[in-house]
Amino acid sequence: MKIEGRNAVAEAIKAGNTIDRLIVEKGLKDAGAQRIIDDAKSRGIKIFFRERQVLDRESVTKHHQGFIAEITDYKYSELEDILAYAEQKGEPPFLLILDGVEDPHNLGSILRVAECAGVHGVIIPRHRSVSVNETVIKVSAGASAHIRVAKVTNINDAIDELKSRGIWIYCADMDGESIYSTDLTGAAAFVIGGEGKGVGKRTRANCDAVVSLPMFGQINSLNASVATAVVVYEKIRQTLSK
């Protein structure tokens, strides 16, 4: 798997990811590029300086910005790892559950929101979902190196496990209670539906509550990553103001 782009590569190095080799465009002289190169050298990462045309050929995303890092594979977490991380931080668990998000750009953006907002982890299904690939890593701007992602066989089994741990499950979907009049404080996981289909009926029925965002225009839904950002930061606002 390849990690491409300055932010993504810099964060992968900082996070201590195992990088098999780093390909850097020849002739980069700016301070930002030099910081990445120096950090990689200090960690013993093999660096290969190549002409831009070589990176263009090797690039998957076609937006490498002069840096391509090769890693063996993305390392997923277990659900237990995410809960242990929340406990280690002394915070109520705060999770996202993605039900059928298939667009890598959406997943990358969601991981970026989650990492910035202090979400402890993101759960995705093993099937009917995009995996963490080169595009996801690039779009996440390095967040994928820091946020824990668990890939589970069955979303509803994961929800049941979280509920048994005292975590309240909110489904973000149409026709729910307004998110602004719903108490979101405490241990919580938010289920976000995929593009077009939204949250599945069985999964929606398995949630403790359904919350929605008010819509005032002619279009009745938001992009999954945009909706995630609004939901996550409303949870944070309520927590901070409590």
- Which fold is adopted by the domain 2-71? 60s Ribosomal Protein L30; Chain: A; (3.30.1330)
Residue 120 in tokens: 């402890």
Integer Cα distance of 114 and 111 in angstroms: 5
- To the nearest 10°, the Cα dihedral for 232, 242, 208, 202? 0
- Give the angle subtended at the CA of 145 by the CAs of 142 and 149, to the nearest 5°: 120
Q: Tell me: the pLDDT tens digits for 121-162? A: 999 998 888 889 889 998 998 899 999 999 999 999 999 999
Integer Cα distance of 122 and 162 in angstroms: 13
pLDDT for 17 = 79
pLDDT for 1 = 87
- pLDDT mean for each 10 residues of the chain (242 residues): 92 87 94 95 93 94 92 88 97 96 94 97 91 90 93 95 97 92 97 86 95 87 91 96 86
pLDDT for 33 = 95
pLDDT for 196 = 73
Integer Cα distance of 230 and 172 in angstroms: 11
pLDDT for 222 = 84
Integer Cα distance of 211 and 175 in angstroms: 8
The CA–CA distances, whole Å, from 83 to 22, 33, 167, 229 equal 33, 36, 10, 21
Domain ranges within the chain, ordered by starting residue:
2-71, 79-241
Buried/exposed code over 170-196 (b: 16+ C-beta within 10 A; e: otherwise): bbbbeebeebeebebeebbbbbbbbee
- Which fold is adopted by the domain 79-241? Alpha/beta knot (3.40.1280)
The CA–CA distances, whole Å, from 88 to 76, 83, 85, 235 equal 19, 9, 5, 21
